[in-house]
């Protein structure tokens, strides 16, 4: 028997897969032009993230989750469906700039196909990775605080396609759960750089915000707090929780116990030596517009519909306070400390890639 992981060529999925490979046979569905290309891409990614691993434990099948049968032949789909007993669905199109329609295949159709797979031939446990973005606008609906027990509705997911399609993906698994599939939902917040080396993803929102702030020479004075955790902690929590008995039907927020104030992150950037006067969020957006021709400012503006919930240019963009108490008590793993040293490594990593000047 084995587990099937989707999204293993990604940031969180890669770390999750590397952890599972320490003790399990893992099969991954990976996009690629050729079988060999998909196989080599994933093995290189996992080695880059986590170092050497037991290559014999990994099987790669080339597919595309947004296509019928996850893009697999009927024979391969059925063979896998008979062998796999647990599915970790981590794949998604993570793009805050894209319109909702273009995100439906990656975030909704793909989830539907994964649910079909989880039901085919034998019932499998499905661990579905969603996002706290489904609550981005919950405060507007009267929820100043959200946790694992809060029931999301579409209107809570804010004014951007990514969060809306993550909500619709959750709907797919909720329906399946109501029909008897053992489903566990995980809602990470911001997936931050690794707690030890600050290796980070190109889609990391904090990095993008910091890059834009350094580029325009000012930081937004935001009142928002953001749930999240370093990627290794998020992956470790998901693996830990998924192995507990009785988690079918439960929802977890694999984040640090307390959300991170946006202002705290910019304080750390200043402490590291970057001169970033705090300006009110409306002025900061004007600064971005003035610098829209620059890469980081342009990128943040393109993702503004989502990033507005971190910057809060108007009160309606203030996200709810997001708690993870039930999750951290179910998975009492030692929390990485986001201290001066962590942020210094973050800034060194961002500078090493040439995104910001070194101080
Ligand atoms: N990043 C965050 O801060 C954040 C926060 C909360 C929740 N999440 C959720 O956490 C999960 C992982 O996020 P991430 O940031 O690690 O994402 P990521 O690095 O962008 O990786 C996404 C993964 O999904 C795969 N994928 C997308 N569409 C696919 C398809 N049609 N068929 C097969 N594979 C497909 C990608 O494959 P390719 O390599 O082929 O593109 C990649 O492996 C997602 O569910 C995301 O919504 C992320």
Same domain, 184 and 222: no
Work out whether the CA dihedral 169, 174, 179, 182 comes out positive or negative. Answer: positive
Let me know whether 87 and 209 are in one domain.
no
State the CATH number of the domain containing residue 127: 3.40.50.720
- pLDDT per position as a tens digit, 145-154: 999 999 999 9
pLDDT exceeds 80 at position 60 = yes
> What are the DSSP calls for 12-50, one per residue?
HHHHHHHHHTTTS-EEEEE--SSHHHHHHHHHHHHHHHH
The residue to mutate among 8, 13, 169, 253, having the most atoms of ligand 1 within 8 angstroms of its beta carbon, is 13
Considering the domain architecture, whether residues 242 and 212 belong to the same structural domain is answered as no
Structural domain total, the chain: 2
- For 92, counting Cβ atoms within 10 Å of its Cβ (0-12 exposed, 13-18 middle, 19+ buried), the class is buried
How confident is the model over 206-247, as pLDDT tens digits? 899 999 999 999 999 999 999 999 999 999 999 999 999 999
Q: Judge whether 98 lies within some domain.
A: yes
Average pLDDT of the chain is 96
pLDDT digit string, tens, across residues 86-114? 999 999 999 999 999 999 999 999 999 99
Residues 206 and 65 in one domain: no
Same domain, 58 and 95: yes
Structural domain includes residue 327: no
* C-alpha 235 – ligand 1 centre gap (Å): 13
177 and 65 in a common domain: yes
Rounded distance from Cα 286 to ligand 1 centre (Å) = 31
**What pLDDT shows up at residue 197?**
79
Mutating to test ligand 1, I would choose from 91, 158, 163 the residue with most ligand atoms within 8 A of its C-beta, which is: 91
Closest Cα to atom 19 of ligand 1: 10
Distance 85 CA to ligand 1 centre (A): 22
SS3 95: coil
Do 91 and 106 contact (CB within 8 A), yes or no? Answer: yes
Give a yes or no: residue 328 inside a domain. no
Give, for ligand 1, the residue of 8, 12, 63 to mutate: max count of ligand atoms closer than 8 Å to Cβ: 12
Q: Which atom of ligand 1 is nearest to the CA of 66?
A: 31
Which region holds residue 246: left if phi is over 0, alpha if psi is between -120 and 50, else beta? left
Question: Ligand 1 pocket: which residues have CB below 6 Å?
Answer: 6-7, 9-13, 29, 31, 64-66, 90-94, 106, 110, 129, 131, 166, 188, 190-191, 201, 203
Q: Are residues 111 and 204 in the same domain?
A: no
233 and 298 assigned to the same domain: no
Measured in angstroms, how far is the CA atom of residue 276 from the centroid of ligand 1?
Answer: 32
Residue nearest atom 22 in ligand 1 by C-alpha distance: 10
91 alpha carbon to ligand 1 midpoint, in Å? 4
pLDDT in tens, 248-262: 999 999 999 999 999
d(CA 149, CA 7): 26
Give tens-digit pLDDT for 325-353: 999 999 999 999 999 999 999 899 999 99
1 pLDDT exceeds 80?
A: no
DSSP letters spanning 302-320: HTHHHHHHHH-SSGGGPPP
In a shared domain, residues 221 and 234: no
- How far apart CA 93 and CA 56 sit, in angstroms, is 29
Residue-number span of the structural domain to which 18 is assigned: 2-191+228-252
Q: Is 273 left (phi over 0), alpha (psi -120 to 50) or beta?
A: left
At residue 84, φ and ψ (nearest 5 deg) are -80, 140
Tokens 């606008």 correspond to what residue? Answer: 137
Q: Are residues 56 and 9 in the same domain?
A: yes
Q: Using CA of residue 225, residue 226, residue 227, residue 231, what is the dihedral sign?
A: negative
State how far the Cα of 85 lies from the Cα of 1, in Å rounded to an integer. Answer: 6
Is 71 inside a domain boundary? yes
Same domain, residue pair 221 and 237: no
Q: Is residue 159 part of a domain?
A: yes
More confident call, 1 vs 283: 283
CA of 174 to the centre of ligand 1 (A): 20
- Are residues 314 and 242 part of one domain? no
Ligand 1 atom 11 nearest Cα: 90
């Amino acid at each position: 028997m084995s587990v099937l992981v989707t999204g293993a060529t990604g940031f969180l999925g890669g770390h999750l897969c590397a952890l599972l490979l320490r003790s399990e046979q893992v099969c991954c569905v990976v996009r690629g032009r050729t079988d060999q290309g998909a196989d080599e891409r994933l093995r290189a990614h996992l080695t880059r993230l986590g170092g050497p691993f037991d290559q014999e434990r990994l099987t790669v099948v080339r597919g595309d989750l947004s296509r019928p049968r996850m893009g697999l032949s009927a024979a391969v789909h059925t063979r896998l469906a008979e062998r796999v007993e647990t599915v970790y669905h981590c794949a998604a199109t993570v793009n805050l700039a894209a319109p909702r329609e273009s995100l439906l295949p990656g975030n909704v159709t793909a989830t539907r196909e994964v649910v079909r797979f989880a039901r085919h031939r034998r019932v499998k446990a499905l661990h579905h990775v969603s996002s706290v973005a489904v609550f981005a606008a919950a405060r507007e609906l009267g929820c100043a605080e959200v946790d694992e027990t809060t029931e999301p509705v579409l209107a809570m997911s804010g004014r951007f396609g990514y969060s809306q399609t993550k909500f619709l993906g959750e709907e797919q698994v909720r329906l399946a759960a109501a029909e008897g599939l053992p489903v566990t939902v995980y809602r990470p917040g911001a997936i931050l750089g690794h707690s030890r080396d600050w290796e980070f993803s190109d889609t990391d929102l904090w990095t993008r915000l910091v890059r834009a702030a350094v580029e325009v020479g000012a930081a937004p004075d935001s009142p928002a707090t953001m749930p999240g955790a370093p990627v290794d902690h998020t992956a470790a929590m998901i693996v830990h929780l998924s192995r507990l008995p009785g988690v079918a039907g439960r929802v977890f927020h694999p984040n640090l116990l307390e959300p991170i104030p946006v202002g705290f992150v910019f304080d750390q950037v200043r402490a590291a030596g970057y001169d970033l006067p705090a300006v009110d969020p409306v002025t900061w957006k004007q600064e971005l517009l003035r610098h829209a021709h620059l890469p980081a400012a342009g990128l943040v503006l393109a993702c503004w519909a989502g990033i507005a919930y971190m910057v809060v240019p108007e009160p309606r963009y203030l996200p709810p306070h997001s708690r993870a108490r039930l999750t951290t008590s179910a998975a009492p793993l030692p929390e990485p400390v986001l201290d001066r040293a962590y942020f210094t490594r973050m800034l060194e990593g961002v500078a090493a890639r040439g995104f910001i000047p070194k101080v």
